Structure 1
């Protein structure tokens, strides 16, 4: 299954080689041209000679992760986060390290041995380590080196009522939407970009947008969802199962109102459920794309993701499938002359 392939592949920010190859294998037979830019983003072109506005569809490949920074004499590995990782969710979690995918477990001093003062504070990353079962530094160095990256060792699984859990739905779910869209036929020039290093500052998207120079851009993302028991309505961000979320404002973008209203009309005309992203924190590649060159007409559609940036994340498969439907309906509307450029 596509979601399983994409979420289980490794792709830390700056080390997207494995996930890029997985995506390439999925899309190469459906593209007119596939290439990689100097930062590592994968760019897929279709219908370049067709008339009409050029549309860029963008999703980032990278995931939050950990980097090994030191190997202790006893074989334990010290690490630091790559991207926004909450240290409180790390303890006792399994990880895979480096190209060998060495298995390890994140550990710290057991609660039995902590002082009363230590128990009152969250364990910091500086107090944690990764244990790969090595007894010495020399033994650990046979398998791991400083600079290797670790990702959460979480398998994809469908659970409950049309839900799926895995790591890296942010933003492999957006990548999956793009892959499914590439396999469809359209009559306008399209460019699909699977970008790098979004989690450490939206770094890959700006160069892609500058290079491609599209007329219109649509960003696909997994977004924050906190719709669990006790969460106030205004703090939920999105609600899982209520459809793809349309962004109004975040830390790097204020939505173009013309684009937003067009997306609402497209969703309603197609009978696709949708919701608004109701928090202003966070951001996505739209923050770099919409200010490239002289400015690009840009919007963002997100799949609600519970426990985002955590070892196990949760999405609704209905939201995922409705996002695919919404993207297709949007592109069909552009084919018919909708979303006219000034």
Structure 2
């Protein structure tokens, strides 16, 4: 599928030139902030992959190429909204205020990485969801609860293009339409569901056309244009908060990296396709626009990159300095009422840990 040939909501073309009048909120100062956010999360992504390659992180899903989607999602949500992410959502979670080391903890195998606290208060955002599309059903429950509470808040759930073929997704958009709940669905259509290309995933021209069957609006937006992404998200969230129901947003982008660090995308897609996709990526696009408006310079770029590397390295240090959890917590967080057999296994693990540590544990 020729992504750039499709008709979709867009303000900047892939060369960073305006193709429509920018919305009033899109001041140069705001766009500079978006650009800094995207660059920082890209530097983080590169470091996270390096940590996995050197054995300091588990399997990691790169968000390379989807920075505009993530930052727009994170910045458009209010503090009292609820975010229900899928696994490729570090930029959005970071923009929501979740520390980088939490993300590293999670992919490092430490469940405490899913324990979010913002401003010393518990965060209602849900943790990463690795199973495909199951987070959509959770989001329906969250949004239904928000409607019952009547607080004019919204929920937002993300998923990949492959998730739209799952029953969980289709049932969720159907419920969202039937129940008129304050929920925004965002599909990161990055053209590849692991090794299955978009053209084999669905026969429709747009995945957002699936919204018609659910009776909710479906919008296709250029996921590499952060101005278009943020604009559509703000309008959809405002609609949800006002009790006007759900919206399905299809953000059309491209996965520039492997599906995860356990994948080798060169086995199923061509190098020519990948190089073409790099021409449309979001960071370069916004940078080109800012430089054309004399709102960014090479000097600012160099200084910001240095600051980004320092910020990321500090987060990595905090992550590596975190003491590991006692091994018995694997049982504590799984069983509310453990059986006698489980208790025996837990006691055996504690005893083994104490022997290995010379009698000291926890």
Question: TM-score of the superposition, structure 2-length normalised?
Answer: 0.22
Question: TM-score of the superposition, structure 1-length normalised?
Answer: 0.23
Structure with more strand by fraction: 1
Structure with more helix by fraction: 2
